């Protein structure tokens, strides 16, 4: 799959190069605001990938050793891998064969006393019924893996609208790409500030000593 780039993209990249500011800068901040506004989220924190966004979401949710996180049995491996990054255990749940997504029923079948959260993937951009899952399991932390869902709409609202934690991908094979990169969108201002601080702190540590989970912050030229 070849990304569709035109003169507008060429001009935007040239403008960034000419500015001399190719690391985290004003264009990233502008993109964070525009993307969060478009999907109906209060805040956006641009990061290096959707994997990074999911990892950061679990850190913010304070998921750790001894906890279980339900993930779909059909997804890119990163959905399960990030759970292990924080020392928790991924628990695979069945999916609806018609949509490829988790349902309230399949999540319920995977619950145990150790379950803290569920990562709901909008598989291939097909919206999962997150509202139904939240209503059926009000005690669970719901993290949305919207890697492929930029532009998807469910019940007249963009996927990710109002989500406490939603992770996005801008990989070249996605409908919206920045070359590489991802974003975590959030509704809570305090949580967004923590996300920004955590991403920046990890990025600074990795500049001095590379970590096994890669860098976290996005640049002007991802």
- pLDDT tens for residues 35-72? 999 999 999 999 999 999 999 999 999 999 999 999 99
Compute the mean pLDDT over every residue in the chain, rounded to the nearest whole number. 89
pTM: 0.87
Number of other residues whose CB lies within 10 A of the CB of residue 16: 18
Judge whether residue 142 has pLDDT over 80. Answer: yes
The stretch 202-209 carries a mean pLDDT of: 46
| pLDDT above 80 (res 2) | no
- Least confident span in 62-76, 118-132, 161-175, 201-215: 201-215
Which pLDDT value is given to residue 218?
56
Residue 8 has pLDDT above 50, yes or no: yes
- Report the b/e string of 106-139 with b at 16+ CB within 10 A: bbeebbeeebbbbbbbbbeebbbbbeebbeebee
Residue 80 has a pLDDT of: 97
pLDDT band at 219 (very low <50, low <70, confident <90, very high): low
The DSSP secondary-structure symbol of 217 reads B
Q: How far apart are CA 216 and CA 219, in angstroms?
A: 10
- What is the per-residue pLDDT for 77? 95
Candidates 3, 55, 11, 67; CA nearest to 213 is: 55
> Cα torsion for 54, 55, 57, 61, to the nearest 10°?
140
pLDDT at site 217: 54
> Residues 122, 174, 216, 217: which is the catalytic one?
174
Q: Which helix (H) or strand (E) holds 115?
A: strand 115-121
Among 141, 106, 145, 108, which residue's Cα sits nearest to residue 127? Answer: 145
Annotation says 105 is catalytic? no
Q: How does pLDDT run across 12-30, given as a tens digit for each residue?
A: 888 888 887 777 778 889 9
């Amino acid at each position: 799959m070849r990304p569709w780039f035109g003169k507008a993209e060429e001009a935007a990249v040239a403008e960034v190069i000419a500015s001399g500011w190719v690391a985290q800068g004003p264009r990233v901040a502008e993109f964070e605001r525009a993307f969060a506004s478009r999907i109906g989220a209060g805040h956006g924190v641009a990061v290096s990938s959707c994997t990074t966004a999911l990892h950061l979401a679990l850190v913010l949710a304070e998921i750790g050793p001894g906890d279980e996180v339900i993930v779909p049995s059909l997804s890119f491996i990163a959905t399960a891998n990030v759970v292990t990054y924080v020392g928790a255990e991924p628990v695979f749940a069945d999916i609806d064969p018609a949509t490829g997504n988790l349902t309230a029923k399949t999540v319920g079948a995977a619950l145990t006393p150790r379950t803290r959260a569920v990562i709901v993937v909008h598989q291939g951009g097909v919206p999962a019924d997150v509202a139904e899952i939240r209503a059926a399991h009000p005690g669970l932390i719901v993290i949305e893996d919207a890697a492929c869902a930029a532009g998807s709409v469910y019940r007249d609202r963009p996927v990710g609208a109002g989500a406490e934690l939603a992770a996005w991908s801008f990989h070249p094979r996605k409908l919206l790409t920045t070359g590489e990169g991802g974003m975590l969108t959030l509704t809570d201002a305090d949580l967004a500030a923590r996300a920004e601080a955590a991403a920046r702190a990890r990025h600074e540590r990795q500049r001095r000593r590379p970590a096994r989970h890669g860098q976290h912050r996005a640049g002007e030229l991802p």
